[in-house]
Amino acid sequence: MSDPAAEETWNEKRILVCDDEPHIREPVAIYLRQNGFEVTTAVDGRDGLNKFQKDDFFLVITDINMPQMTGLDLLAEVRKVRPTTDVVMITGNVDLDYAIQAIKNGAYDYFRKPFDFEDVMLTVSRVVEKRRLQRAAAEAERLRGERSASERNAIEAVMALVQAVYSKDSYTRGHMERVGLYADVIAATMGLEAKRRKIIERAGILHDIGKIGTPDVILNKTGKLTQEEFLVIQLHPNVGAQIVRPISVLGEVAPLVRQHHEKWNGTGYPDRLAGEKITVEARILAIADVFDALHSDRAYRPGLPIEKTIQIIKEGRGSHFDPEVVDCFESCLNDGTLLGSIKDARGAGQVSAQDKVKAMAEEAQQMMMGATSQAREAAPAPAPAPEPAPAVAVAVVEEKDEDIPAAPPAAAPAASSPEEENLDKTLDLPPK
């Protein structure tokens, strides 16, 4: 019987490099071999498909513009034959539109010629890490209903998702937690019941989890995005929803993660939903996300003054945001509950989103164990599934006091300043 650990290592060793230009194909292959991978090369798309069908590769690196069969065609065939195989595209400047299309069709990433070998290794390492996380999540799901399942596996599978994004973008850590808090306060003001508030809070903590699939060079870019880079950024809600959907305890969070960049007037993404076709939970999440993003420092600009942040949100009433949610947002600001939520959480001794995610995983584990226990003790007729455990307290990252926004002053909005520049990325506007 084969060793599962050995099979896992094997699956993350074999790479197919497909390019009709030998001066690109062979150096890439040599570099990957020097870094411990087993590499097979192909001279064009058709040759690559033949070799792919005969062997088990975890990754295909392919040029786009090739004779016999293009890289896009090879991508389509790979997805048919073995959908779990990741594909990274190689493209010249003239092929960039095709690279964006390839990512939409399921490619993991792309390189632009000329490229640095260290960038190649970074992307391959991220593919390996993504596959590890997917296996961890799948394993936790497989263990559902087994009393002997390890609690550690369930916890690590969920916590790894949060940590993966934190490692790519340090800004995201505090942002994701604060969005969860703000969304919970707005939902309470709107009268949503406790169960729906818990789902919204969890979605806030996980809403940017899809950025694990966003290239670092785009995620941390200090200047304005190009049109092509903006299209790549728009993929992260769908990627995030695909990551959390298979985990049973997070199933109801997935639609919110997917919809948190939709806009009231239908100009958002990824599905261009409008009005009440967007879930009310996602509409709440959207305003909490933009509020914190505008007021916080980003990689590409410093945070805006809070009065300017509020002005921008009011200007988005009825276009970007649901008018009713904007009204509740203003109510929360005026009575102090929105900004006070961070101070209250800290005063209660709550420290980080990691604790919150750990509680999610522990709840999932309790559901697993409870289901198995009922199956053993019940009569032959199937017993109903146990109710989920009660909601746990909100948790946030412990931050310096100066990072907590002060209550908004009553004065008129501040005049334009340098901090107001480069807001297109925050407000999901296409590059000009």
Domain boundaries, the chain: 4-128, 147-350+394-407
Task: Name 283's Cβ contacts closer than 8 Å, sequence gap at least 6.
Answer: 264, 321, 322, 325
CA gap 88, 34 in Å, rounded: 19
Q: Which residue has the higher pLDDT, 7 or 129?
A: 129
Q: Classify 106 in phi/psi space as left (phi over 0), alpha (psi -120 to 50) or beta.
A: left
Task: Encode burial over 113-151: b for 16+ CB neighbours within 10 A, e otherwise.
Answer: eeeeeeebeebbebbbebbebbebbeebbebbbeeebee
Residue 385: the pLDDT is: 36
Residue 115: band (very low, low, confident or very high) from pLDDT cuts 50, 70, 90: confident
CA gap 333, 221 in Å, rounded: 32
CA gap 130, 299 in Å, rounded: 24
Mean pLDDT of 156-172: 66
Q: Which residue has the higher pLDDT, 296 or 273?
A: 273
CA gap 220, 300 in Å, rounded: 8
In this model, does residue 369 exceed pLDDT 80? Answer: no
4-128 and 147-350+394-407, same CATH topology: no
What digits encode the pLDDT tens for the residues 308-344? 888 999 999 999 999 999 999 999 888 888 877 665 5
CA gap 100, 102 in Å, rounded: 5
Q: Which residue has the higher pLDDT, 140 or 184?
A: 184
**Helical H runs in 296-352?**
306-315, 323-334, 337-347
Q: Which of 254-263, 408-417, 423-432 has the highest mean pLDDT?
A: 254-263
In this model, does residue 161 exceed pLDDT 50? Answer: yes
What digits encode the pLDDT tens for the residues 397-424? 333 333 333 333 333 333 444 444 455 5
Mean pLDDT of 153-174: 63
Peptide bond into 408 cis (omega under 30): no
The answer to whether 244 and 254 have CB atoms below 8 angstroms apart is: yes
The CATH number given to 147-350+394-407 is 1.10.3210.10
Q: Which of 16-20, 344-348, 384-388 has the highest mean pLDDT?
A: 16-20
**pLDDT over 90 percentage in the chain:** 33
In this model, does residue 274 exceed pLDDT 90? Answer: yes
Residue 188: the pLDDT is: 92
Long-range Cβ pairs for the range 340-347 (8 Å, 24+):
341/181, 341/182, 341/184, 341/185, 341/394, 342/178, 342/181, 342/396, 342/404, 343/404, 345/181, 345/393, 345/394, 345/395, 345/396, 346/396, 346/398
What digits encode the pLDDT tens for the residues 64-109? 989 889 999 999 999 999 999 999 998 876 667 777 888 888 888 8
Tokens 């003001």 correspond to 189
CA gap 199, 256 in Å, rounded: 9
Residue 391: the pLDDT is: 33
Tokens 């150096």 correspond to 27
Mean pLDDT of 22-33: 93
The CATH number given to 4-128 is 3.40.50.2300
Residue 240: band (very low, low, confident or very high) from pLDDT cuts 50, 70, 90: confident
Average pLDDT over the chain reads 75
The answer to whether 127 and 97 have CB atoms below 8 angstroms apart is: no
Mean pLDDT of 140-146: 63
